[in-house]
């Protein structure tokens, strides 16, 4: 739902509003959209991924961001908040505020009923506009199911799927492996 119905906002106007707001909103082609809260499973999965990646990247020149770091995709006229982003090398930011990242190598989204189609469709299409992006990971929260899209040298994307808690998610671009068992640690599907 747009917070500014029938009103076109410039990116600068959006950022001025967003930087003062109590709740996060995405920006897409002139409109702001309030973001909904996340479930317990969603939060557990994000924390698990961040904890695992932090341990693996601790001694490397990489930075890890969770849901409060904004991402700008200029070509798509989009400002959004991915669940997890990784940058190796020097991070680039939209301005001196350093609250809007431009060059993630890996993006992770935890899917929900309300965001699943958007995250798989238009949002992934927008993410592909980022030349820095090498891997896009979508994690289901209702069952063990992880989808990995890896950019190929010719420009296409290779798809791999993981559905067994004994499998390992390989993130080749940052030389990390994440066990699905750790991604889903403490997530209870029986409730």
Please give the average pLDDT of every successive group of 10 residues along the chain, which has 191 residues: 62 92 90 86 96 96 94 94 97 96 98 89 94 97 96 94 98 97 94 63
CATH of the domain at 131: 3.90.1570.10
19 part of a folded domain = yes
In a domain, 66, yes or no: yes
Q: How many domains does the chain have?
A: 2
pLDDT at 37: 76
Residue 99: the pLDDT is 96
d(CA 83, CA 138): 10
Kindly state whether residues 158 and 105 are assigned to the same domain: yes
d(CA 158, CA 168) in angstroms, rounded, equals 17
Question: 188 lies in a domain?
Answer: no
Residue 189 in any domain: the answer is no
Domain assignment of residue 141, given as a range: 39-183
Q: How far apart are CA 115 and CA 84, in angstroms?
A: 15
**Dihedral angle over CA of 53, 19, 134, 37, nearest 10:** 60
- Which pLDDT score, from 0 to 100, does residue 155 have? 86
pLDDT in the model for residue 1: 40
pLDDT of residue 34: 85
Cα separations (Å) of 101 from 81, 137, 152? 10, 18, 23
If asked whether residues 12 and 94 sit together in one domain, one would say: no
Count of Cβ atoms closer than 10 Å to residue 185 Cβ: 15
């Amino acid at each position: 739902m747009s917070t500014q119905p029938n009103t076109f906002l410039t990116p600068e106007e959006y950022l001025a509003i967003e930087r003062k707001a109590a709740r996060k909103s995405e920006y897409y082609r002139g409109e702001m959209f309030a973001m909904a809260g996340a479930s317990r499973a969603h939060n557990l999965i994000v924390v698990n991924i961040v904890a695992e990646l932090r341990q693996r990247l601790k001694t490397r020149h990489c930075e890890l961001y969770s849901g409060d770091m904004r991402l700008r995709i200029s070509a798509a006229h989009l400002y959004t908040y991915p669940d997890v982003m990784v940058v190796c090398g020097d991070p680039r930011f939209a301005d001196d505020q350093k609250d809007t990242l431009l060059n993630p190598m890996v993006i992770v989204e935890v899917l929900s009923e309300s965001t699943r189609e958007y995250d798989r469709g238009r949002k992934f299409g927008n993410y592909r506009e980022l030349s820095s992006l090498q891997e896009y990971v979508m994690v289901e929260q209702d069952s063990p199911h992880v989808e990995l899209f890896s950019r190929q040298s010719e420009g296409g994307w290779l798809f791999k799927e993981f559905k067994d808690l004994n499998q390992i998610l390989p993130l080749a671009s940052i030389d990390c492996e994440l066990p699905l068992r750790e991604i889903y640690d403490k997530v209870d599907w029986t409730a």
